[in-house]
A and B are shown apart, each in its own frame.
Chain A
Amino acid sequence: MITREEIIKQTNEALAKEFEFKNDQLVPTAQLRDDLGLDSLDAVDMVVVLEQKFGVTLRQGYDLRTIVTLNDLYDFIEKLARTHHK
């Protein structure tokens, strides 16, 4: 099963490519909206690229309000990956 370290690495790679972030911006405590500047349209596109990256469906049950920081995002993907693996 995919490790948390691998989830963080792949998530950061996908976000850096899609939204042109530099690596030092992608710290776990970074807030998606306030620190990284992602708006509601970016959030939709973020779901698309992460779904492609991990081969899971994020959009059902996905609620941006519960995912504030990058760490929240890693948690969410990890939980989905575990469910998917079962």
Chain B
Amino acid sequence: MDDSNTVVITGMGAVSPYGTGVQALWEGLLSAKNCMHTVAELEALPMVNTKVAATVPTTDYSFIPRKYRRSMSRMGLYAYCAAQEALHQAGYEVAPDQLGFFMGSTLNSISVWLELTSYSQGAHLELIKTSDFLQIMNHSPLAAVCQALKINGPAMGGSEACATGLMNMGLGFLAIRQGLVKQALCGGTEEYHPMFSACFDIMQATSKNSNDNPAAACRPFDASRTGLVVSEGCGLVFMETKQSAQERGVPILAEVLGFYANTETENMAYPSADTLKKCMEGALQAAQVKPAQVDLLNAHATGTVAGDIAETQAAHAVFGPNLKINSLKGHLGHTMGASGTLESIACAEMLKAQQILPTHNLKQVDPQCAPLQYNTQVTNAPLHIIMKNSFAIGGNNCSLLLRRPQ
């Protein structure tokens, strides 16, 4: 491959249930710090079986100028912090000219929407403020962060539910490869609302057998798992060509080797192993990487019964039984639109540390999950290439390959 066309990551920004910053994310993951808790609103709803979520710790965001903050719901505030961190790590105090920005979310702010609908129910539409509308546009966080950080290149918000973060990394990767932009911020953002948990609960996709022990609520691949735990946050990565990074003299954190996406058309909520297999094979082909070269699959694995089985069966079909596999949803819960990027950031940290994080809460592998190499503790291992998967309700699947800087 022509090195000048290689896309690399030179900056990362994270807001997660472990707090603000990539360091807080990595330290939380390494120590398996508990960030799950019961939610009073869920406890008040007897028909909702799940009572647990993971949320970003309360933070004072008044350092963001009011002029910009007025257009930000919580997911916008998270995105501002993550974007600023990623820019700084990439060596910028202000956004470079024509920086691309690719970011989305599953839904927009439910809290602000509910405020708006409360106005209409009382027929007090005159109480609506401009800032309400500016916070609930589908691309509100994207637009608000562009204003605040003066990002003046193409800004596009791909939205594919749980795959949003990784899809936007793929978009950024392709935009740089195709020459649309030289540099791009890419990822996803999400803010928690109990409605998320309630909706996934109706679909019987939530964890429901560990409400009295929130720390153990999400158990990917485990025989006793019952579902996912909804979470929130924002992950953004700064991408550019390897040539650009070398010319600027900034450290390369990871190389992006390839990306692929496809869509499940048989069922919105249940991916088939065959479609997931084709997605992973597509990414390998795009990256010109052989299955045996992949050292680790960082799975989407949210802890749902059907999803984990389908993903492991697909992975087994592509890679065989020697593949090392982990999921970070047991630590973080499902950060929804942010998950693909937050977990990719964790992959870059694993490549740097040469350590494989365990699947938290995995005690006994479900015999229906395919036989793969599951690890239950932090493991030192030579890591060169990691595949990251993200699959969305709606059938949107994607896989991306990261390599340790050469």
Q: Which residues of B contact A51 (CB under 8 A)?
A: 126
Q: Which residues of B in the span 346-400 have a Cβ within 8 Å of any Cβ on A?
A: none
B167 → chain A closest CB, angstroms: 31
* Contact string against A for B residues 32-76, beta-carbon threshold 8 Å, 1 for contact and 0 otherwise: 000000000000000000000000000000100011001000000
The answer to the question of B131 belonging to the interface, with a C-beta cut-off of 8 Å to chain A, is yes
B119 → chain A closest CB, angstroms: 10
A38, closest chain B residue (CB): B67
Q: Which residues of A contact B (CB under 8 A)?
A: 19-20, 37, 39, 41-42, 44-45, 48-49, 51-52, 59
Q: List 15 A-B contacts (CB under 8 A).
A: A20-B62, A20-B66, A37-B67, A39-B67, A41-B130, A41-B134, A44-B129, A45-B70, A45-B129, A45-B131, A48-B126, A48-B129, A49-B129, A52-B127, A59-B126
Q: Which residues of A contact B128 (CB under 8 A)?
A: 48
Q: Which residues of B contact A48 (CB under 8 A)?
A: 126-129
A37, closest chain B residue (CB): B67
Please determine whether A41 and B66 come into contact, CB atoms closer than 8 angstroms: no
B134, closest chain A residue (CB): A41
Distance of A5 Cα from B47 Cα, bound (Å): 53
Q: Which residues of B in the span 299-345 have a Cβ within 8 Å of any Cβ on A?
A: none
**Extra 17 A-B pairs, beta carbons < 8 Å, given A45-B130, A48-B128:** A19-B66, A20-B62, A20-B66, A39-B67, A41-B130, A41-B134, A42-B70, A44-B129, A44-B130, A45-B70, A45-B129, A45-B131, A48-B126, A48-B127, A48-B129, A49-B129, A59-B126
Q: Which residues of A contact B129 (CB under 8 A)?
A: 44-45, 48-49
A49, closest chain B residue (CB): B129
B2 → chain A closest CB, angstroms: 47
10 closest residue pairs by CB, A with B: A45-B129, A41-B130, A44-B130, A48-B129, A20-B66, A45-B130, A45-B131, A48-B127, A19-B66, A52-B127
| Most chain B beta carbons < 10 A, residue from A48, A51, A59 | A48
**Residues of B within 8 Å of A, CB-based: how many?**
11
Distance of A45 Cα from B134 Cα, bound (Å): 12
Q: Which residues of A contact B131 (CB under 8 A)?
A: 41, 45
Chain A facing B: main interface SS? helix
Q: Which residues of B contact A19 (CB under 8 A)?
A: 66
Distance of A51 Cα from B66 Cα, bound (Å): 22
Distance of A42 Cα from B129 Cα, bound (Å): 9
Distance of A52 Cα from B119 Cα, bound (Å): 13
Q: Which residues of A contact B130 (CB under 8 A)?
A: 41, 44-45
Q: Which residues of B contact A45 (CB under 8 A)?
A: 70, 129-131
Distance of A36 Cα from B67 Cα, bound (Å): 11
B127 → chain A closest CB, angstroms: 6
Q: Which residues of B in the span 208-237 have a Cβ within 8 Å of any Cβ on A?
A: none
Q: Which residues of A contact B62 (CB under 8 A)?
A: 20
* Contact string against A for B residues 179-191, beta-carbon threshold 8 Å, 1 for contact and 0 otherwise: 0000000000000
Q: Which residues of A contact B126 (CB under 8 A)?
A: 48, 51, 59
Q: Which residues of B contact A41 (CB under 8 A)?
A: 70, 130-131, 134
Distance of A44 Cα from B62 Cα, bound (Å): 22
Q: Which residues of A contact B66 (CB under 8 A)?
A: 19-20
Distance of A5 Cα from B130 Cα, bound (Å): 29
Distance of A20 Cα from B128 Cα, bound (Å): 19
A20, closest chain B residue (CB): B66
Q: Which residues of A contact B70 (CB under 8 A)?
A: 41-42, 45
B124 → chain A closest CB, angstroms: 9
